[in-house]
Structure 1
Amino acid sequence: MHVLVAGILILLVLLIPFFFFGLIIGLIMNGRTMIKKEGRRIANLLPMFAGLGFLLLFIAGIAQGLTINSPLLWVVYFFILTVIAYFTFFFITFLVSTFIYQYNFPRFNQDFIIVLGSGLIGERVPPLLASRLDKATSFFWQQADKKGKHATIIVSGGQGADELTSEANAMRKYLIEKGIPENYIIMEDQSVNTLQNMQFSKAKMDAIMERYNSIFTTNNFHLFRASLYARKAGLKSQGIGSKTAFYYMPSALFREFIAIVMMHKKVHLIIIGFFIFLSLQFWHFHYSYRGGNKK
């Protein structure tokens, strides 16, 4: 048994280079797919940038290994690796949290269902937003069938500069076409981001009743961050996620991760500052040691 476990561990270690280069190739190829399907926007290029970044890091590591008597480069490289290790750990934590949030199953006793907006194409509901509305529609009818209770759907989203109508109005029309009675739909058409989606929707619900149960629908990759904003808005609301095209997930997850990092940017800047301090201490120790030897 011990021999088998040792053999598996050795095999995994030997496969690490293949996993690393496979990740690089996969990210670059996904970036190409995103460009073809979604256009040449910066957000769609994130997987490709990440893949190229890992490749450059590998090349820089080889170059650094071949560099002779360059302690400054070692300190810089140490700092870069420390920062990457920190954000890699944070990214893994984010992925685990995102995965766990996929398996949230709210009870069929909801008074409100909030649908978070995600942008329009002119005045048309695109597939990404349609999946959120379809998820809300499905829950609406399931609860009505199982409990005989109809939830009120709050469609939340203002009008962007390139949109011909508010997201809320376009979503309202979409739901009506899908068979949702208009008297069970409330529009919140002032919000411009997820935090405002939560804050303004909460105000709508608070104005109707003092105590209520609510959920929100969004895409699965957005569940974790949306839940953080719900708490920040003082809203006790669980989320249910709609499926997202597989090719879209890497880019979406990178964007979500960056957004969550920016939510706590002051904390991360303090930690990076601590890493800089450690690197400078290492540099100071190195030269003090060399100076002591010369004496």
Structure 2
Amino acid sequence: MAPPRPTALESVIGALYGSLSAMALAVFVAGFLREPRRVSNAVWLGVAATLFGLALLVFSPGWVGESLVLPAIAVVALLTPVALLGNGVVMWRREGHRPANVLSLLAGAGLAAVVVLTLVIGPGGSRWAVAALGSVLLACAYVTFLFACLLGYSVLYGRIVRRRGITAILVLGAGLHGTQVPPLLASRLDRARRLYRRQSGQPPLIVVSGGQGPGEDKTEAAAMREYLVRHGIPADRVLLEEQATTTEENLRFGVEVLGKRPARKEVVVVTNNYHVFRTAVTARRLRLPVHVLGAPTALYFLPSAVIREFIALVVHYWRLNTVLLCLLVALPWLLALSRS
């Protein structure tokens, strides 16, 4: 038996979703071609994907939403808090008790609380309880949408950065263990080594950037240079930048080390994959003509690291996000008041 055709109204709504999706995609492509390091690119791509998904749902048979989409959403909603809580415990044990290492634990606890609240109140609760639940769910939906947009676009951005024709590589520092390069930083340096050996003609310069932090017996840059030389990179191709203590300083001071060399516009910055897009956004804000490439990161480390990067980007645009969150949180309460 053939599935029922969509009604005239459903066809109009589906066509509207499809048209809006195409418009959002066009805005994304234009923004991407003009400047791929914009946060707005991530949002427009997410809007286009969401609207396209809604169009597909409208034109698909009713059982698709009821039998596939809704159960999938329910499973993800239940499993995500469990996965984040488990990862939080692993981070707590392996990386210590610093606030940055418990973000996945906190996120998992928060999502678990939202799931419990939804099951307890449900649609049958009092008007004001449902309004409160609606505010929480809309806020969570907004944050989840932004997170998915930034995560997805970060992966896309990391794959479009040029790998050849590079004349300088800037490696951002990370913490040392005394004088030793830890695995996180070693992955950046190994990525830089592979990139260095991939170039033809004149080998690129490598700038290693990082000052000396608490508990470190030398500057990060000095330890990074030793690591690269020990692994076969000629010492005269490695330049030191030993003052930076933040990502912004890594970028500014690292590019300054290159001075007015002709290599400046072919600089690729190397950091870890979770840090790629925020570094690119920072470079754009500083008007530095560089793009960013990511190095692999241990899987257990990624959730907290990605959440930290997401928070940093959201905070950077805190005014807009605050306004939108306030509007979403207020909407259920306004609807409840209108029914009184």
Q: TM-score, normalised on structure 1? A: 0.86
One-letter identity of the residue aligned with 1:213: E
CA distance in 2 between counterparts of 1:112 and 1:225 reads 20
Conserved in 2, the CA contact under 8 Å of 1:104 and 1:239?
Answer: no
Residue by residue, what CA displacement relative to the aligned partner does 1:8-40 show, whole Å, maximum 9, x if unpaired?
Answer: 542343343333222222111112222232223
RMSD: 2.3
Conserved in 1, the CA contact under 8 Å of 2:205 and 2:238?
Answer: yes
CA distance in 1 between counterparts of 2:75 and 2:134 reads 24
Residue by residue, what CA displacement relative to the aligned partner does 1:190-249 show, whole Å, maximum 9, x if unpaired?
Answer: 111111111112222234448541101111111111111111121121222111112222
Conserved in 1, the CA contact under 8 Å of 2:264 and 2:289?
Answer: no
| Residue 63 (structure 1) aligned with residue 120 (structure 2) | yes
Conserved in 2, the CA contact under 8 Å of 1:157 and 1:166?
Answer: yes
Q: Kindly report which structure 2 residues correspond to 1:1-295, keeping only aligned pairs within 5 A, or say none.
A: 6=61, 8-9=64-65, 10-65=67-122, 69=126, 71-143=127-199, 147-209=200-262, 212-278=265-331, 281-282=334-335, 284-286=337-339, 290=340
One-letter identity of the residue aligned with 2:115: F
One-letter identity of the residue aligned with 1:180: I
Conserved in 2, the CA contact under 8 Å of 1:109 and 1:149?
Answer: no
Match of 2:57 in 1: none
CA distance in 2 between counterparts of 1:266 and 1:38 reads 33
Change (3 A) 1:107 1:134: closer
Q: Secondary structure at the match of 1:269?
A: helix
1:151: how far off? Answer: 0.8
Match of 2:44 in 1: none
CA distance in 2 between counterparts of 1:2 and 1:131 reads 54
CA distance in 1 between counterparts of 2:331 and 2:81 reads 30
Q: Secondary structure at the match of 1:102?
A: helix
1:283: how far off? Answer: 5.2
One-letter identity of the residue aligned with 2:196: F
Change (3 A) 1:211 1:251: closer
One-letter identity of the residue aligned with 1:46: L
Conserved in 1, the CA contact under 8 Å of 2:123 and 2:130?
Answer: no
One-letter identity of the residue aligned with 1:59: V
214-223 vs 245-254, which moves further = 245-254
Conserved in 2, the CA contact under 8 Å of 1:111 and 1:213?
Answer: yes
| Count, aligned residues | 282
Conserved in 1, the CA contact under 8 Å of 2:169 and 2:267?
Answer: yes
CA distance in 2 between counterparts of 1:229 and 1:246 reads 25
CA distance in 2 between counterparts of 1:93 and 1:202 reads 29
Q: TM-score, normalised on structure 2? A: 0.76
One-letter identity of the residue aligned with 2:202: K
One-letter identity of the residue aligned with 2:240: M
CA distance in 2 between counterparts of 1:12 and 1:78 reads 21
Change (3 A) 1:19 1:133: same
Change (3 A) 1:138 1:210: closer
Residue by residue, what CA displacement relative to the aligned partner does 1:142-195 show, whole Å, maximum 9, x if unpaired?
Answer: 21xxx2211111111112122222111111111111121111111111111111
CA distance in 1 between counterparts of 2:203 and 2:76 reads 49
1:56: how far off? Answer: 0.9
CA distance in 2 between counterparts of 1:225 and 1:211 reads 21
Match of 1:293 in 2: none
Residue by residue, what CA displacement relative to the aligned partner does 1:257-288 show, whole Å, maximum 9, x if unpaired?
Answer: 111111211221222233355455445434xx
| 5+ residue gaps, structure 1 | 291-295
One-letter identity of the residue aligned with 2:109: L
1:96: how far off? Answer: 0.9
Change (3 A) 1:14 1:85: closer
Instruction: Kindly report structure 1 stretches of 4+ aligned residues shifted beyond 6 Å.
Output: none
One-letter identity of the residue aligned with 1:220: N
CA distance in 1 between counterparts of 2:2 and 2:139 reads 36
